[in-house]
């Protein structure tokens, strides 16, 4: 596990974004851990989060020209990532979509830079993939090319079938998904923390039952 992934999970735990206990997921499963990126809700944490996104994207080696943030969570995440990339000397444009088209002013559904070139979609997680599919189709309709989806955590968990939402999205559109951390990283993180030893077996059991 590379250092920035371990650092990201420690950062998430410190901000109560990553929690361990007993939780019920959207799918109705009892999970021993929970991740809610919406709790990165102040300037300092959003700045640091953007830096983790930027590191993961640069580490992926994927060539890109622009960032796109799907409404609503993706808007601040794409902006934070663009700022972090600029800090690293890589200044790229970004844009985001509105839920409803605007019929005055600049109009349309896209705010920010014009969609062009190779575009990375920035969001928090992939649950059922619907929002990302919409983004991919919107980018292609504009004549641009979606080259990756960048998320915070890949739970590597089965959806309705045998594959995860991430695997289904990659198979359907041929667009790779880059995650700052995955469930594998979470398990390695727990293994290195004595204070989380009580959750090792529970997370392993959950993965054995629901992992893709």
Closest C-alpha among 57, 21, 51 to residue 36: 21
pLDDT for position 103: 57
By annotation, the residues acting in catalysis are: 102, 104
pLDDT for position 101: 64
Q: Is the torsion defined by CA of 17, 18, 23, 25 positive or negative?
A: positive
Where are the domains positioned within the chain? 3-210
33-89: per-residue pLDDT in tens?
999 999 999 999 999 999 999 999 999 999 999 999 999 999 999 999 999 999 999
pLDDT for position 1: 46
Query: What CATH architecture does domain 3-210 belong to?
Result: 3-Layer(aba) Sandwich (3.40)
């Amino acid at each position: 596990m590379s250092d920035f992934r371990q650092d990201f999970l420690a950062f998430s735990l410190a901000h109560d974004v990553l929690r361990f206990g007993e939780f019920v997921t959207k799918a109705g499963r009892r999970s021993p851990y929970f991740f809610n990126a919406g709790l990165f809700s102040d300037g300092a944490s959003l700045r640091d989060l953007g830096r983790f996104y930027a590191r993961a994207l640069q580490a992926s080696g994927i060539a890109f020209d622009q960032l796109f943030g799907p409404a609503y969570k993706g808007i601040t995440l794409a902006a934070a990532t663009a700022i972090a990339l600029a800090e690293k000397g890589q200044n790229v444009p970004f844009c985001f979509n509105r839920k409803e088209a605007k019929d005055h002013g600049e109009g349309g559904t896209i705010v920010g830079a014009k969609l062009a070139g190779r575009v990375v979609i920035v969001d928090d997680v992939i649950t059922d993939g619907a929002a990302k599919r919409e983004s991919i189709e919107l980018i292609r309709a504009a004549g641009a090319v979606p080259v990756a989806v960048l998320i915070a955590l890949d739970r590597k968990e089965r959806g309705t079938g045998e594959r995860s939402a991430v695997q289904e999205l990659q198979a359907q559109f041929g667009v790779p998904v880059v995650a700052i951390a995955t469930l594998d990283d979470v398990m390695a993180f727990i293994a290195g923390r004595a204070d989380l030893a009580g959750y090792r077996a529970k997370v392993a059991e959950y993965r054995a039952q629901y992992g893709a």
